[in-house]
Structure 1
Amino acid sequence: MNSNLNSSKNFTWLFSVLMIVLAIFVAFSAQLPSADNYQSGNEKEFSQQNALKHLKVISAEAHYVGAPAHTKVRKYLVDELEALGLEVETFKHLSTHGRRTVAAYTNNIITKIKGTTEGKALALVSHYDSGTHSSLGASDAGSGVVTILEAVRTFLANGKQPTNDIIIVLTDAEEQGLLGAGAFVNFHPWAKDIGLVLNFEARGSGGPSYMLIETNGGNKRLIQAFREADINIPVANSLMYALYKLLPNSTDLTVFRKQADIDGLNFAFIDDHFDYHTVQDSWERIDRESLNHQADYLMSSLNYFAYADLSQLKSEQDMVYFNFPGLNMVIYPNSWVTPMLLFATLLFVLLCYYGFKQNSLTIKQVALGFAPLFTSLVLAGSIGYFGWQLLLSLFPQYADIPHGFTYNGHWILACFVTFTCATTLFIYQLFNKKLSSSNLFVAPIVLWLCVNVMIALMLPGAGFFILPLYLALACFGLNIFSQIERPKQLMLGTLLVIPSVMLLTPLIPLLVIGLGLKMSVIGTLLTCMTLILLIPIYCNYPKGNRLAIGFSMLSLLFLVISIAQSDYTEERKKPNSVNYVYDQDTDSAFMTSYNRTLDAFTNQFFDKESSATTWDESIYPQSRRTKVRFYQATDKLDVKAAKVEVIKDELTDKSRKLELLISPQREVNIIQLASNNEMPISKLSVNGQAFNSQAFSSEPGAVKEIKKGFFFKYVLTHSHEKVSVELVVPKNTEVSLKVFETSFDLLERLDDVQARDSIYMPEPFVINDAVIIGQSVKI
């Protein structure tokens, strides 16, 4: 009899573990469509092959604003849209971004599918420029462009005529400060007709595409419409929406929302972040599943919103929402968050009261139950924070990847998560010998109650965290009330925790990938918080320490794999940087680099002793990303500096108006202005157009305090553009300016330099491989 009972326990334990593992697998696999989708070859269906054919052309070369390939890509897209029978406009306009004080002439590609009514229009938006200066831009945002191009072809091939106008806007200069979107919203007559924007983006080359709402009001009607669109695989939750509003993120859709009060939906995948803005953002490396996910979103959304009433999407009410396998989107009002919390608290108090009354709980054991909880949380936080710091010290090359997520980042995260599981389970196994599972489980429920109190007060978008709490209370009640045999109780408990596991585990990589490995502590803490919900299950496992040992071995395996992939290869290229900086004021030239460590490519420019500890910022200002770590004097290149003229210097009773005319004498990509001191500015304009920002207000006495360093950037569409800059400052302001001109042709000018080997690539996000000339303005 005992033999049969032990056999039943062992089988139940194994079956419980397998069910939880299967639930995690389903939670992750349900986030993406198959890579084989959209390959039928039917002309009336979206074709992945067609999309990839376009993407291969678009991403053949870096096509940042001003690059020769930028014009080629624009012409290709115009030709393809015209081949669909659409009338296409290339809308050229100067655009400025007030917060970043950057400007450029933009060339947006615009066309329209005419609807049958005069209601609000649907806009399909993505940008066709790539990041400066080496990015191939296949994912960001070539993937969005080709998804729109192929979806429009499919829509037209089916002979459909929409109720609403469908406006296609392929924006320019998004990477420079959302400039194309600004030009369209502020200067194109069609902008006022738009009722909803669907914007397609990417911040990596793989992973699920997440939906993020942007609205100036509540999200109720938008998220309800999104659910009615019946997306096959929606991946979205209101926590991402709440965090997005708190963080300084922006896309083209942000411009539509802020400057024209037009709401919309962002769709973007963010995994494989290390490819973002690099030469590795190629059409070969983009995950086919991610491209299909974008297609899935657009085809369903287009077929719904092309016929929906887009004038009825505004709302003042916010909703909590999340996706769940098999349920599509779960939605309920934010106003439910507090009542649900109060009811959960009442339910917890009643369960505790009954537990104490029946002697299932004791004050001493409940109090002792907080010890493993606090110990587990402290260890989880330490693993995430100090684990990453330790890896940075052991592998300093990680710091040269500016994305914040290394090539082996998934293995590092897996190591941290499994080690957190091992320590948490081991700690609770020790206490399980002295305390019952019911007493141990009180502390985790209290923690989850506290978390939900903070959510209700500060972040109601994360209100769906109340659902794991309710399931935990159900497990708690099962332990207290149930008189059934332990194997059956274990199976019932397993069924109760599975929804929590499926809801929470995908959030762990999402948050760490989105915020970077430096925030691994969030992932390990969430891992611990998820795992403690399984305590009633784990404490009923026979010899539960085996599970902790298993996770320890997995953690070690993942660590070994991450170390094996810590070196740079052709598939995992090392970013490096080199610039030539000439200071005309002192007639001195330098080679500079932002890198922390030199390599085979950068060594040819620097002596190892040339580490820059006191770079002179009057020669070239620095920022967080452009800290000069190596520099060395070098021979001057034969390049002409721009001609800088002060064509206006007028004084009034209260202000001083200056106008500079900058005329490049060579091929130049960027013009920048820097101030040698802090300076108040009341107005700033370029080529006659003022920056549209509250910071530069027309109200008397209103000024923007400019810090020392760069404060203005102009991106040239044509290399010899003349740039007129006008600034107005208070009358007695000290004005000390310096003009910097940049071209991305350094390596072309150096005859005796060895090119980068295949394991190196230009560092993204910064000015790189550039010839930079600085000269003070004589005022």
Structure 2
Amino acid sequence: MSKQILAGIALLIIISGVIWSFSGTRPQVDVSKEVPAGQFSTARAFEHVEALAQEPHYVGSAAHSKARNYIVNELEKLGLLIEMQEGFSLNREGTLVRAQNILARIKGTGDGPALLLMSHYDSAMHSSPGASDAASGVATILEGIRAYRASGKVPENDIILLFTDAEELGLNGADLFTEDHPWAKEVGLALNFESRGSGGNSFMLLETNSGNRTLINHFSEAGVQFPVTNSLAYSVYKMLPNDTDLTVLREQGNINGFNFAFIDDHFDYHTATDIPENLDLRTLAHQGSYLMPLLNYSASVPLNNFSSEEDVLFFNLPGFNFIKYPYSWIMPMVILSFTLLLGVIIYGMLKRRLEVKPMVKGFLPLLLSLFLAGLLGYFFWELVLWFYPQYKEMEHGFTYNGYWYIGAVIFLSLAVCFYVYHKFRKPQNSRQLLVAPLLLWWVIILLAAVYLKGAAYFIIPVFFGIIQLLIMIFDPKWKLPIVAFFSLPAIFILMPFIVSFPVALGLGMLVLTAVLVNLLFVLLWPVFGAFRNNQLLGFLSFLVFMVLFVIAHFKSDFNEDRPRPNSLVYLADKDAGVATWNTYEEILDDYTAPYFENAVEAQQKHWFGSKNGSNFSKTAVAPQIMLPEPYVSVQKAVIEPEGEDIYNIKIAPNRDINRIELFADKEIDFNYFKANAKEAGDLRPGSSDLHVHKNRWWDNLLAYYAVSKDTLRLELSVKEGIHPEITLLEASYDLHENMQLQVPARADDMIPRPFVLNDAIVVKRTFKLE
């Protein structure tokens, strides 16, 4: 067989591996196919999504009550007794809300710890229908429990169903359950279903206060068919503030569990486009493929103790399912890999197939391509933002055409690698050029073994790379398909990160995509090095880059399918006696421009918190309208402890509102601070000694989400003689409903900007404690 045919077969193996690394990770789904009653049906689950996500159902909205009633009705259809848990929760960051959790319990035959199935039923404020986040999670549990009961199985362990409220506000429903409900102390394991996008693989992440070995063993023994997870993502997850309801259960109740969440199509997250039509049905099926085996297994085995002193590395490989091994293997495998690599190098030198000088020169194309790819990856996005400044208006940092940019950077990086390696390539030196990458990879693994142990499983591609080097030394005729096959683990392990980093962290992370493409390319060099003209491959890669960039250009505009996010807020400052229009946009559009003809730069000191720390960019004078101020009553205690001043404050809205924020200078600490009889707990153990009220790090004092015009009652104490000035911001999400302002509806190609207070009427006033 000719070398050209062998090279073509090797290339097909690599391309197939790339495709398989994405397409083979989720179950296929046919919603038209009849599914037996005892099995999970994606079609039936999707009906729940459609019912729950007809409109935004955030806390305090009329649709919120409808969603709650729908869940209760569906549980009653299953013959379950429903329990409602209602009460105020004040979390560690100072968010106060009256949450309403929905609970049900299926009795088991045993008396051991219970299995908890959990998702939240509120949607993000204030314009997101929440189809993915998290109607999909609620639907997964409702359909899963229906299928379980239809199968006739009787669990050994009790099964608790918990649909939490106010997750989007501050995980308050989970806080209320953990702190106040007796069932929380009976939970042995929790499964939580979440979302940060509207499609893609559902990723499994852990929550545990100890080692992960027992949890990973449990997950492995459950027999999940399509596991997507790895210990690197788990390690990164633990370092980032990506809290879920399960985080609260772990920190406050020492409850171990699994999170299942998906993040692709991140541009839908928390937006008006998070609708049922945009939810990927394969992703919903993937959630069900996690729930059913874990439900069946966890309901029948003891859930006594998931704490462990040992951590394990774990990852999934298509075709090999789920792989795990203990941390104690890390250093032996690092030493073994270096020993094998050194042995193969010495063997190659003895056989005169490797030489010192060409191997050392191999670092030149490696480092040069790595530098150029990283540099281009970084400046690529900066250049894109210069050409398309409208992208800055997307809070997510991930644009509607973001996948085209990811593909463009992948092929741009490949072009760099092909061109650079072509310049350094000489006859019979392909194997020499593989040594430097393997040594660099070994150094990376050594650093991971010391500083980021969750990434140490990246040693697997290194072992296969050593085998490839040995094959190239022997140089059999059939080497190309063989080395291509041994490159598959590197593809399976690295490709998901190449795509997912800029999706999850924003397109500013395209530099990581470029670097990872380079690091993968050098592990595929045994195949690419066999092609006669890498310069041609580089040129073709650059052509693909240009095509993808042009496609992205034609998808860069906003339209009904890719709506532009924008914002408008009316602020009435009762202290100054002025009113203003405000926006977060840098670039005005047809909706916002008429309000900011004489705009100035915004100078708002205190404002409602947002996930990305966004502040107003522009402000302009607005007409003053009739807006009733909130009633504020400040009473100083008659009898006070020595050295303290005690105040009782009552704040009562005089209009329908959704949110109140209070601010006071962060230099002022309160001896105690209670809101509606609740006191904020400490920050997570071991993180710091800061406290939102007692040892403060910001001016934010309290975020109160009002339900049914509830009165806010504060009891607080400060050092005697200190008279704090408190700023009060009172917001209602009714900008478009206010007849005095007559703000027109958005065009069909626009949506409210997510993650910020938007479409709101805000009243500001200050009062002093004296």
Q: Secondary structure at the match of 1:777?
A: strand
Q: Does structure 2 conserve the Cα–Cα contact (< 8 Å) formed by 1:682 and 1:701? A: no
- Alignment of 1:55 with 2:34, yes or no, is no
Aligned 1:473-484 pairs, distance under 5 A: 473-480=466-473, 482-484=474-476
The CA distance in 2 between the partners of 1:71 and 1:126, in whole Å, is 17
Match for 2:178 among 180, 185, 198? 185
Tell me the CA shift for residue 500 of structure 1: 1.6
Aligned to 1:282: 275
Deviation of 1:155 (Å): 1.0
* Aligned-residue offset at 1:644: 0.9
Counterpart residue number, 1:4: none
**Equivalent-residue separation in structure 2 for 1:694 and 1:519 (angstroms):** 30
Which of 81, 85, 98 is 2:75 aligned to?
81
Does residue 597 of structure 2 align to residue 603 of structure 1?
no
How far the C-alpha of 1:676 sits from its partner, in A, is: 4.3
Q: Describe how 1:739-754 pairs up with structure 2 within 5 A.
A: 739-750=728-739, 752-754=742-744
**Conserved 8 A contact 1:37-1:292:** no
What is aligned with 1:295?
288
Residues of 2 paired with 1:46 and 1:313: CA distance? 27
Pick closer, same or farther for the CA change 1:424–1:88 going to 2, 3 Å.
same
**How far 1:439 moved relative to its partner?**
1.9
Structure 2 counterpart of 1:342, from 319, 322, 335: 335
Which residue of 1 is the match for residue 620 of structure 2?
632
Q: How many residues align?
A: 765
User: How far apart are the structure 2 equivalents of 1:250 and 1:619?
Assistant: 23
**Deviation at residue 314 of structure 1 after TM alignment:** 2.0
What is the alpha-carbon distance in structure 1 between the residues aligned to residue 106 and residue 692 of structure 2? 44
| Cα shift at 1:186 | 0.7
| Counterpart position of 1:507 | 497
Is the CA contact (8 Å cut-off) linking 2:29 and 2:42 kept in structure 1? Answer: no
- Could you tell me which residue of structure 2 aligns to residue 3 of structure 1? none
Q: 1:56-100 deviations in whole A, cap 9, x for unaligned?
A: 1211111110011101111111111011110001110111111x2
How far does residue 778 in structure 1 lie from its aligned partner after superposition?
2.9
Distance 1:700 1:589 in 2: 36
Residue equivalent to 2:583: 593
Q: Where do 1:373-522 residues align within 5 Å?
A: 373-433=366-426, 436-480=429-473, 482-485=474-477, 488-522=478-512
Aligned amino acid, residue 517 of structure 2: T
Decide whether the 8 Å contact of 1:589 with 1:635 is kept in 2: yes
1:43-65 deviation digits (Å, cap 9, x = unpaired):
22222222222211211111110
Instruction: Confirm whether residue 113 of structure 1 aligns to residue 113 of structure 2.
Output: no
2:577 and 2:432 map into 1 onto residues whose CA distance is 76
Structure 1 residues 696 and 247: CA distance shift in structure 2, 3 A: closer
Kept after mapping to 2: 8 A contact 1:622/1:628: no
- In structure 2, the partner of 1:125 is 118
Where 1:706 maps in the other structure, the secondary structure is: coil
Amino acid at match of 2:375: S
> What secondary structure, in the 3-state scheme, does the structure 1 residue paired with 2:768 have?
coil
Whether 1:774 and 2:764 are equivalent positions in the alignment is yes
Task: Give the deviation of 1:708 after TM superposition.
Answer: 5.4
Tell me, yes or no, if the aligned pair for 1:324 and 1:330 is still in contact at 8 Å: yes
Higher mean displacement: 147-156 or 621-630: 621-630
The corresponding residue for 2:520 is 530
Q: Please list, as runs of the form range in 1=range in 2, the aligned pairs for 1:570-589 lying within 5 A after superposition.
A: 570-589=560-579
Q: Find out whether 1:241 has 2:230 as its counterpart.
A: no
Cα offset for 1:459? 1.1
Please give the TM-score of this superposition, normalised by the length of structure 2: 0.96
SS of the aligned residue for 2:276 comes to coil
8 A Cα contact 2:612 2:755, kept in partner: no
Aligned to 2:671: 682
Kindly indicate whether the alpha-carbon contact (under 8 Å) linking 2:178 and 2:248 is maintained by their aligned counterparts in 1: yes
Match of 2:139 in 1: 146
CA 1:399 to 1:415, structure 2 compared with 1: closer, same or farther past 3 Å? same
1:495 CA displacement: 1.8
Encode CA deviations 1:447-499: one digit per residue, 9 max, x unaligned.
1011101110011111210000111111112222x0533xx122222121122
Post-superposition shift, 1:734?
4.9
Q: Which amino acid aligns with 2:417?
A: T
Greater mean alpha carbon deviation, residues 27-36 or residues 170-179: 27-36
Q: Are 1:69 and 2:63 matched, yes or no?
A: yes
Distance 1:623 1:258, change over 3 A: closer
Q: Within 2, Cα distance between the matches of 1:684 and 1:735?
A: 13
1:611 deviates by 4.0
CA distance in 1, matches of 2:231, 2:33: 33
- Shifted more, 751-760 versus 356-365: the winner is 356-365
Q: 1:761 aligns with which of 728, 751, 755?
A: 751
Asked if structure 1 preserves the Cα contact closer than 8 Å seen for 2:693 and 2:701, the reply is no
| Aligned counterparts of 2:166 and 2:46: Cα–Cα separation in 1 | 23
Could you list the per-position Cα deviations for residues 562-600 of structure 1 after superposition, in whole angstroms to 9, with x for gaps in the alignment? 111000111111111110111111111101001111001
More deviation, 724-733/497-506 = 724-733
In 1: Cα distance, 2:614 partner to 2:219 partner: 41
Report the AA paired with residue 627 of structure 1: N
Amino acid of the residue matched to residue 747 of structure 1? H
1:132 aligned counterpart, secondary structure: coil
Change (3 A) 1:674 1:655: same
Query: Aligned partners of 2:531 and 2:437: how far apart in 1?
Result: 19
How far is the alpha carbon of 1:701 from its aligned partner? 12
Contact 2:609 2:756 (C-alpha < 8 Å) held by counterparts = no
Q: Spell out, residue by residue over 1:629-673, the C-alpha distance to the aligned partner (whole angstroms, 9 max, x if none).
A: 111011112110101111235753343333321011000111110
Tell me the residue number matched to 2:96. 103
Partners in 1 of 2:205 and 2:11 — Cα distance? 34
Secondary structure of 1:721's partner? Answer: coil
Unpaired segments ≥5 residues, structure 1: 1-6
* In structure 2, distance between residues paired with 1:684 and 1:155: 46
Q: 1:391 to 1:756 in 2, by over 3 A?
A: same
Give 1:35 deviation, angstroms.
3.0
SS at match of 1:638: coil
8 Å contact from structure 2 (residues 117, 160) kept in 1: yes
Farther-moved stretch of structure 1 (699-708 vs 132-141): 699-708
Partner of residue 655 from structure 2, selected from 645, 650, 666: 666
Distance 1:77 1:624 in 2: 32
Structure 2 Cα separation of the partners of residues 167 and 84 of structure 1: 14
What is the rounded CA distance, in whole Å, between the counterparts of 2:270 and 2:469 in structure 1? 49
Residues 105 and 383 from structure 1, CA distance in 2 versus in 1: closer, same or farther, beyond 3 angstroms?
A: same
| Residue 206 (structure 2) aligns with | 213
Question: Within 2, Cα distance between the matches of 1:695 and 1:447?
Answer: 38
Work out whether residues 682 and 696 of structure 1, in 8 Å CA contact, stay in contact via their aligned partners in 2: no
- Supply the distance in 2 between the matched residues of 1:660 and 1:773 (Cα, whole angstroms): 18
Alpha-carbon displacement from aligned partner over 1:140-189 (angstroms, at most 9, x marks no partner): 00000011011111111122110000000000000000000010111011
CA deviation vs aligned residue, 1:190-235 (integer Å, no higher than 9, x gap)? 1111000000000010001000011111111111111111111111
Q: Which amino acid aligns with 2:599?
A: S
The answer as to whether partners of 2:658 and 2:706 remain within 8 angstroms in 1 is: yes
Q: What secondary structure does 2:454 align onto?
A: helix
Q: Percent identity?
A: 37
Are the counterparts in 2 of residues 211 and 234 from structure 1 also a CA contact under 8 Å?
A: yes
CA contact (8 A) 1:205 1:270 kept: yes
1:316–1:620: structure 2 CA closer, same or farther, 3 Å change rule?
closer
Please report how far the alpha carbon of residue 368 of structure 1 lies from its aligned counterpart in structure 2 after TM superposition: 1.6
Write the distance in 1 (CA, Å) between the matches of 2:407 and 2:47.
Answer: 35
Query: 8 Å contact 2:129–2:272 — kept in the other structure?
Result: yes
